[in-house]
Amino acid sequence: MNERVPTWIWVDALMRRASLAGAFGYVAAKGDKERGDVILKIARLDGRAALFVRSPLSMDSPSFDWLPNAGEWAEEREIDELIQRRRSYDPDLWVVEIEDREGRHFLTETVNGE
């Protein structure tokens, strides 16, 4: 049986990782503490942003595989509208934002004893 890391622990670890790299991250909306899904918004601070969501292929996996939504940078207001629509029907959803001029998301890197 696969056990999933509680969402709040995973979000906290992501925030710490972003902070260590000099990026600013915050939780814009909290969802279910244990099992809530997460949407990650990366803001480059130039009016553009990207939205990352969990891959449907990883739903039964204990790992966090991520795919960018549409794979492109978009106007930040468009990303915010997508988030609001999703949040309107999924109150358990977490919304995490990372502000980083380089556009780093910190989802797929290996952490080496930092």
Euclidean distance between CA atoms 28 and 46, whole angstroms: 19
Number of domains the chain contains: 1
CA distance 52 to 97: 10
1-37 pLDDT, tens digit each: 457 789 999 899 999 999 999 999 999 999 999 888 8
Q: How far apart are CA 53 and CA 64, in angstroms?
A: 10
Q: What is the pLDDT at residue 43?
A: 95
pLDDT, tens digit, for every residue of 47-86? 999 988 865 544 444 444 455 444 578 899 999 998 999 8
The amino acid that residue 106 corresponds to is F
86: domain range?
7-99
CA atoms of 29 and 38, how far apart (whole Å): 10
Whether 108 is covered by a domain: the verdict is no
Instruction: List the CATH number of the domain containing 30.
Output: 3.40.1530.20
